[in-house]
Amino acid sequence: MKTGLDAVAPAVASLRATFDDGLTRPLDWRREQLRAMQRLLIEGEPELLGAMQSDMGKPAVEARLTDLSIVNAEIDVMLRHLERWARPERAGVPLVQQPGHATIVHEPLGVALVIAPWNYPVHLLLLPMAAAICAGNCVVGKPSELTPKTSTAIANLARRYLDTRAVLVVEGGPEETQELLRHRFDTIFYTGNGKVGRIVMEAAAQHLTPVTLELGGKSPVLVAADADVDTAARRIAWGKYLNAGQTCVAPDYVLVHERLETALVDKLRDVVRSFYGSDPRQSPDYARIVNERHFDRLCGLLAATSGHVAVGGESTRSERYIAPTVLTGIHPDDPVMEDEIFGPILPILSVRGMVEAVRFVASRPKPLALYVFASARETVDQVLQGTTSGGVGVNCTVVQVAIPGLPFGGVGPSGMGAYHGRQGFETFSHRRAVFSKPTRPDPPVQYPPYSKVKEWVLKKLM
């Protein structure tokens, strides 16, 4: 259900008034809202799981693991550490400014806007909203119109469980998003693609509003000659085909040492069968492509490839089904290597060694995630030192995003800013510098006129 364009302006104004009244600043209010969001997730689970299943065929176990549980666990961390995070921090005071007391005070920014994508529609909306609440802000959440049933479910549950004076979910499509962006917010948090990210930045610039952009990119997997092929294949396949490949940190392509290419492809074929059976279309554990437009885009990539379909390749448009697919013989200039795939297609490229793999990655835009499978620590260090990415998984994929102590965010074209754990609290906070001095003593040496003696004293103190 659309919120309606006419309702946006008064809703934002109401949240601004709520923030100015100080409702959201007390830690008790923040804790109460975070616990209410946990109840929303637990008691609203059947409604949310059903909506995600309807929107994109998301299996219940997968949705619970990647959408609901991760938000609930992050809120546990927020509740456990909120008081410590919010406590003023002491800062050192140089001798020339003594006596005095310097602190950094964490203040909420004000009214935050969170714009979420469709691929993890609960997780990627409610987790940044929770971080905004944790920091003491009012917040507007805008779910994606591409998962309409989930959008409506979240909006209904938010009205039922959260304080509507301070927390609002606006439904609708691009028109509603554009209307929201016309208004002044104190911070904007956007997750999605770079094209829309630029639009968000342009709109934010009109009000000099700070933005956090969680974008994406082609997250590579580097498989060294000494990698455990069985484990690598299993973990690559799980990370790639989770949510039918519609994950911003999914392995996008693999650079494998030429000696292991055949073994890796064979293992990937075996793993896909063990995960989803001989016909993944019948598996209750395999999701669907979100809509026909994305389905056609992915099939177009398959049709344009110069390589060979080594695994999968089947598709059914009426069901928006594309099988878990592995491509070999790929050329670096193939269409499938140009942009983020965001689907269950995995290109494999062979390399002569990690030096070649590192140079390949370093020559391309900085990705959101990078994965390396190797036994030797020296090989891992070589990859880490020669590349840049938002995050890294060593002998694993995707799971780095579930570690609350690790900031999650991109670098360069894959995003700016980060959240999760304390970093989320910091993202939605202003670190205000406060310096306090007693009125006595008030030595005249710091005031003009400056004599030679004063100059000598000040020089010694500085």
User: For residue 340, what are its two tokens?
Assistant: 């983020």
* Residue carrying structure tokens 């669907």: 288
CA proximity to 236, closest of 193, 265, 278: 265
In this prediction, residues 445-462 reach a mean pLDDT of 84
Cα gap 351→255, rounded to integer Å: 6
Q: Give the model's confidence band at 461: pLDDT under 50 very low, under 70 low, under 90 confident, else very high.
A: confident
pLDDT confidence of residue 98: 87
Domain ranges of the chain: 5-215+415-434, 220-402
Q: Which of 214, 261, 340, 426 is the catalytic position?
A: 214
CB 214 within 8 A of CB 249: no
- Of the candidates 209, 164, 203, the one whose C-alpha atom is nearest the C-alpha of residue 15 is 164
Which pLDDT band, with edges at 50, 70 and 90, does 450 fall under? confident
Q: Look up the CATH number of domain 220-402.
A: 3.40.309.10
Amino acid 83: pLDDT:
97
Q: 5-20 and 174-181 helices cross at what angle (nearest 10)?
A: 40
Model confidence, pTM = 0.94
pLDDT digits (tens, 9 = 90+) for 272-303: 999 999 999 999 999 999 999 999 999 999 99
**pLDDT on residue 3:** 74
Q: What is the pLDDT of residue 458?
A: 79
* pLDDT tens-digit readout, 132-191: 999 999 999 999 999 999 999 999 999 999 999 999 999 999 999 999 999 999 999 999
- 5-215+415-434 sits in which CATH class? alpha beta
For residue 95, what pLDDT is reported?
Answer: 82
Please say if 248 is a catalytic residue. yes
Round to whole Å and give the CA distance between 4 and 11: 11
Judged on CB neighbours under 10 Å (0-12, 13-18, 19+), 10 is: exposed
Q: Which pLDDT does position 1 carry in this prediction?
A: 58
Whole-number pLDDT of residue 454: 81
Residue 288 CA to its chain's centroid (Å): 21
Q: Do domains 5-215+415-434 and 220-402 have the same CATH topology?
A: no
* Exposure b/e, 388-420, CB count within 10 A at least 16 = b: bbbbbbeebbbebbeebeebbbbbebbbbbbbb
Task: Tell me what percent of the residues of the chain surpass a pLDDT of 70.
Answer: 100
Query: Which of 45, 134, 176, 248 is the catalytic position?
Result: 248
DSSP strands (E only) in 208-344: 211-214, 220-223, 253-257, 308-311, 315-316, 321-322, 325-328
Per-residue pLDDT of 344-364, as tens digits, reads 999 999 999 999 999 999 999
For residue 193, is pLDDT > 80? Answer: yes
Interval 384-415: pLDDT, tens: 999 999 999 999 999 999 999 999 999 999 99
Instruction: Of 3-7, 253-257, 378-382, 383-387, give the lowest mean pLDDT range.
Output: 3-7
The three-class DSSP label of residue 223 is strand
Whether pLDDT at 6 is above 90: no
Residue in this structure with the two tokens 């069968």, named with its chain if needed = 273
Q: How many residues does the chain have?
A: 462
449 preceded by cis ω (within 30°)? yes
Q: Is 176 a catalytic residue?
A: no
pLDDT of res. 447 = 86
For residue 183, the model assigns a pLDDT of 96
pLDDT band at 455 (very low <50, low <70, confident <90, very high): confident
Percent of the chain with pLDDT over 90: 92
The pLDDT score that the predictor gives to residue 379 is: 96
| pLDDT tens digits for range 31-84 | 999 999 999 999 999 999 999 999 999 999 999 999 999 999 999 999 999 999
Give the CA distances from residue 7 to residues 1, 170, 204, 209, 305, in Å, rounded to whole numbers and listed in that order.
Answer: 13, 9, 20, 22, 47
pLDDT tens digits for range 315-345: 999 999 999 999 999 999 999 999 999 999 9
